[in-house]
Amino acid sequence: MSLILGIESSCDETAAALVTSERRILAHRLAGQEAAHRPYGGVVPEIAARAHVEILPELIEQVLHEGQVELAEVDAIAATAGPGLIGGVMVGLVTAKGLALAANKPLVAVNHLEGHALSPMLSSPDLKFPYLLLLVSGGHCQLLLVAGVGRYRRLATTIDDAAGEAFDKTAKLLGLGFPGGPAVERAAAGGDPQAVPLPRPLVGSGEPHFSFAGLKSAVLRAKESGRYSNADIAASFQQAVVDCFLDRTRLALEAADGATALVVAGGVAANAEVRTALKALAAGHGLPFVAPPLWLCTDNAAMIGWAGALRFDAGLVDGLDAPARARWPLDPEAEKARGAGVKA
């Protein structure tokens, strides 16, 4: 059994955790920054990085104390090395490097997306490779065939905005507050998902990739028209996103021969309507549906520690020269998506 100290600081959540390769979470601490970013309606990178600097050492001390573990007793130190806001990524990775050097421990530089991709296995021991993963977060929207640790085949990605970003921008346009995803979901609960005629970008086209920029623009036009309530716009937007997920995931299921399950992960995976729709889709294809508990969907250090444990056990450790990366694809060999820019 390996014991890993995990560190996460890629966006606006500062987190540390102690995780074993036997799926035990000995301790986990997380500090959010919602109050600091709320006046701006979104995450301000400089504010986020400074907050990580201030709180991370304390969180690490807390998890070691709570887990009744000395730093010398951990087998390795894992930290998010990207992708993410580069300032925040650097804070966590440099901290991990310092601890690894001081304690003479191996460093595991974890891809944040791999943390999300493997997180369902932490809470679902029966989940086996390969599985089809819909990875949906603030910065990413991808369909991946997860064949093993470090082995990913990208089937689809976003050619412009990610679904989580669209949720955040919709919340800002409607004045619903920050963070946007939960705010839109709450507002949608009181609305009619058929009230506003919003587009479903690329649905029915056979295109494997996602696009949400046009949907955001349609939300803006609906709001400016003054014809619809915020609740109806939120509900209609949420339904449009779900319809896009279902259309693209159906295509991916046809291409993912041998998939053992349909899995969803990432912050948007916490949305109840998304989960319900994907569960029904999986059942229609005779596959189990797997989603992490809600707290494992959003950014956290337990998933980084878990991914670190799997990589450490596989002999995949890194030197102290491991770089911090703003962008880091899980499948670097994937063909660039049509029309996509840097998010391809």
pLDDT one digit per residue (tens) for the chain, 344 residues: 999 999 999 999 999 999 999 999 999 999 999 889 988 888 999 999 999 999 999 999 999 999 999 999 999 999 999 999 999 999 999 999 999 999 999 999 999 999 999 999 999 999 999 999 999 988 899 999 999 999 999 999 999 999 999 999 999 999 999 889 999 999 999 999 999 999 999 999 999 999 999 999 999 999 999 999 999 999 999 999 999 999 999 999 999 989 999 999 999 999 999 999 999 999 999 999 999 999 999 999 999 999 999 999 999 999 999 999 999 999 999 998 876 554 54
pTM comes to 0.94
Per the domain annotation, does 320 fall within a domain?
no
Find out whether 6 and 109 touch, Cβ atoms under 8 Å.
no
Cβ within 8 Å of residue 3, ≥6 positions away = 18, 19, 20, 26, 69, 73, 74, 75
Same domain, 136 and 257: yes
Q: CA-CA distance, 144 to 252, in Å (whole number)?
A: 8
Residue 339 lies in a domain: no
Domain assignment of residue 112, yes or no: yes
Rounded CA separation 64/250 (Å): 44
Same domain, residue pair 139 and 274: yes
> Which of 49, 8, 12 is CA-nearest to residue 28?
8
Residues 139 and 282 in one domain: yes
Check which CATH number belongs to the domain holding 196 and give it: 3.30.420.40
Convert the pLDDT of each residue in 269-304 to its tens digit.
999 999 999 999 999 999 999 999 999 999 999 999
Note whether residue 326 is domain-resident.
Answer: no
Q: Is 124 strand, coil or helix?
A: coil
- Domain hosting 270: range is 128-291
* One domain for residues 162 and 238: yes
Same domain (yes/no): 303, 285: no
151 and 181 share one domain? yes
Rounded to whole angstroms, the Cα distance separating 157 from 334 reads 10
Check whether residue 145 and residue 284 sit in a common domain. Answer: yes
Residue 278 within a domain: yes
169 with 230, same domain: the answer is yes
Q: Which residues share a beta bridge with 79?
A: 7, 109
Domain annotation covers residue 342? no
Outline where DSSP puts E strands in 52-149. 76-82, 107-111, 131-136, 141-148
Looking at the domain assignment, is residue 327 inside a domain?
no
Task: Give yes or no: residues 305 and 181 share one domain.
Answer: no
Number of domains forming the structure of the chain:
2
Residues 77 and 41 in one domain: yes
Shared-domain flag, residues 86 and 175: no
Do 75 and 173 fall within a single domain? no
Inside any domain, residue 331? no
Task: Report the residue count for the chain.
Answer: 344
